[in-house]
A and B are shown apart, each in its own frame.
Chain A
Amino acid sequence: MIRRLLVVLAVLGLSIGTAAPAMAYEPVDIVHTERVQVGPYGVTVGFSTWPVRAMQSLDFTFIPDGGIEDKSGTLVRTLPSGAHYHPAPLARHPRKRDVWGLDVFALQTEGDWKFTFAIDGPQGHGEGTAPVSVLSQPGPPLALSWVVCAIPFFALVAFLVIAWRRGRKVSAVAVA
């Protein structure tokens, strides 16, 4: 029995070892662009999926005219409700290091988002806002996804309740 178990684990280990080199990271493939003026700087905003849908992640690229070498800046994301995130430094895209970007990033809610850029560079400081329209989420209704995915949690709670009730009956007599 133990030997069989070890054989199964060895096969599992081998399959893990050989699967590792099969990893591949997709290149950033921009299918749509928009232009935004950020003070003196023209910026091209790229999207790897178009149109953008709520909860569906994609790659964003932010390319100022003349490149990012001599510039720095921040991005503020504003939700359709008007609430906004803290300013985040514009960082290079991990898989496209010559431009700024957000990698596999999802905007969670449907509606009109705003990306507000602040850029400092050789021509001084500039600010500008790009509207980003986000359509409804793909896939089944979110409530249905949650119901299906909450089954293990409710199964766990049911198990603990059953254990509790049975334990109460025996705790006085059957403790070894």
Chain B
Amino acid sequence: MRPVAAGFVLVGTGISLIGTSWDVQWHIDVGPDTFFTLPHLFIYAGSAIAGIASLVAVLAVTAAQRRGETPDPTDGGVPIRVFGGRFTAPLGYLVTGVGAAMFLLYGLIDLWWHTVYGFDAVLNSPPHVALFTTVSITMIGAVIIAAASREQRWGRIAMAISVPVLMTFFPITANAFQGLPLPFNPVVVATAWIIVLLLVVTRVAIDRPGAAALTAAVLLVMQGILWLFTPWAAETYAGAVGLPLRDGLGDESPYIPAGIPLAGLLAAAVIELLIKRGPVIAVGIAGLILGVTFQLQQSWLHFAGPSTLSVLVATAIAGGLFGMLGGYLGARFGVILRVREKVAA
């Protein structure tokens, strides 16, 4: 039961991520939108699969408890009493399920939004931000489920997949900060912050050398797959429905995979090597590396203006400081993921 339900949650979040990358590229390369496009169906199916798997897991644990069995906290996380004890929900499945249910609710609000405002494809409309947040909540649930089974090999594999999925998806919301009048690039710094935070979460939760590096390696592989798949899928789908590509498309990199830092592995290596000796320095250097390299990457790929020295220095400093903050938060949340006992509020 355990690996099956967790597997469906993981597959669901992966399908949501692929659908989102595909959908964004579709709007850039091709354009027209209806509610019933294949990328949209991927996004919705992903949340539906994760949500249904969570519901089944919660019902199974509830039924087991009613038979007199004690819930096992390695099965999806600490058991939580829901609706006055009518249900017993492992924390991970509860978070995943609530995220998926909210996603479907905000999907209806998004449909209403498009009937009022039309189908202009902007990332940062209020319902789109809500949808990104709810998918992120589902992905956080997937990380909690994986961490609960960290002693199992499949649990560690699930962790090495669920964390990079969240690393890729969560920073999309950071686009809302684009254009803020700051001396540094806020999108780059927000992305560096999230990646350092999640690398430390993984390292602390798994508590094995190499856990952060493995996560960063999987992130790189995931980036490569999305980089190849996304433009191909947009173009193939356009051909299948008889739509042309837009005029004036150059050799721009695919939007979502290009928004993943290429130097994650380097940052993870610094964390792996220095976290025991000097954790604050480790996460600060990791954030600084991500700040500098991701700023250069964004300029190189034309997703940001030219990197002047002042922007580069300011982004490096901000990356280092936010890396420290991410490391601090990540260490605490990593410990929380290891908690196995019920705790009174």
Contact = CB atoms under 8 A, between A and B. Distances in A.
A175 B106 contact: no
A1 interface: yes
B343 A159 contact: no
Given A2-B4, A55-B117, A150 B341 contact: no
B182 interface: no
Interface residues of B, number: 57
Interface string B252-289: 00000000000000000000000000000000000000
A19 to B, nearest CB: 6
Interface stretch (B160-168, B222-230, B239-247, B295-303): B239-247
A31 interface: no
B134 A94 contact: no
B345 A166 contact: yes
Interface stretch (B26-34, B188-196, B210-218, B312-320): B26-34
B118 A56 contact: yes
B120 A151 contact: no
Interface of B: 1, 4, 8, 30-34, 36-38, 41, 45, 48-49, 52-53, 56, 60, 95, 99, 102, 106, 109, 113, 116-122, 126-127, 129-130, 133-134, 136-137, 140, 241, 243-244, 246-248, 332-333, 335-336, 338-341, 343, 345
27 contacts: A1-B56, A9-B8, A12-B52, A19-B36, A25-B241, A25-B243, A26-B34, A49-B118, A89-B248, A94-B31, A94-B246, A95-B32, A104-B120, A106-B120, A146-B126, A149-B106, A149-B127, A151-B130, A152-B106, A152-B137, A155-B102, A155-B137, A156-B137, A160-B333, A163-B336, A166-B343, A174-B340
Pick the 10 closest A-B CB pairs, nearest first. A57-B118, A57-B120, A167-B336, A149-B126, A91-B247, A149-B130, A106-B120, A152-B133, A174-B341, A176-B340
